[in-house]
Amino acid sequence: MCGLTGVLIGNKRRRKTELEEIGRMFTELLLLNQARGKDAAGLAMIRRDGTYSLFKRPGPAAKLVMEEKYSEIIGRFDNATTCILGHTRWKTRGTEANSLNNHPIRAGAVIGTAAGTILNADRLFKKYRLPRVGEVDSEFIFRLADKKDSIENFTACVSDVRGGMSAVFTRTSAPDTILVIKGNKPLTLWYHKGFRAVFYSSEEWPLERVNGGRQDVIPLDIAAYTLSAFNVADLMDFRQHDFYFKGRMRSYSSWGYQDYLSTEV
């Protein structure tokens, strides 16, 4: 299960008070998404020049946000930041004691977070000859994105995936663009007109808790099984691409073949 949350930062000159409010809202969303996973938590902050700060630890988000390092990173949030990616982990594969298994994951130039289970990840790593440093299946998506030179090539290969997935990632080589995969795992995005920012969360209720009642918030219509490309120059002018993969796969048992379906939600 795992929680995805974060904020995409549109180009705008912001005063310190606005930056602090966005940082506070991100922290609250991260804490609320702890309901989807308490094994580990983390965040990554990416800047327009491709530099980034990444911090993740075993344990719940409530523990992470009390760390001095967390406060240091949130304190660096400024007008050069393009996005903050947050994650709360419910482990399904790979011990949380090894931070390479926790999110956000850095794979070459790609930094991202994912929720779900790729059931055939071991085979796909071998098929596409991708390096692997952790045990988690979600690393495959980010390694593949790092290897492929276009969205079209990336989405074509993802059709081999079997299981459940949604994800958010960017490249340090192109930090103005953030890619959002809404597959068959929940993911909700709201645009805040006043802040020129997109806040997202696996489930809608944390967004309602943090942003509810504001007239300047617009829920975005993001279809399932799509990859949306957001550019910080104009977050509302995003492009959606079809993103097909199968939620079911065939698994062999002594009784013959049967359907296997990921039970994560």
Q: What would the pLDDT profile of 197-240 be if each residue is shown by its tens digit? A: 999 999 999 999 998 677 789 999 999 999 999 999 999 999 99
Coil/strand/helix, residue 28:
helix
Measured between alpha carbons, how far is 204 from 21 in angstroms, rounded to an integer? 20
Per-residue model confidence (pLDDT) at position 256: 31
Whether residue 80 has pLDDT greater than 50: yes
Coil/strand/helix, residue 69:
helix
Residues in the chain: 265
Residue-number span of the structural domain to which 257 is assigned: 3-261
The token duo for 236 is: 């509302």
Per-residue model confidence (pLDDT) at position 236: 96
Q: Shortest CA distance to 188 belongs to which of 163, 168, 162?
A: 168
Per-residue model confidence (pLDDT) at position 55: 98
On average, the pLDDT of the chain sits at 91
Number of domains in the chain: 1
Cα–Cα distances (Å) from 116 to 65, 200, 241, in that order, read 24, 16, 20
Domain containing residue 226: CATH number: 3.60.20.10
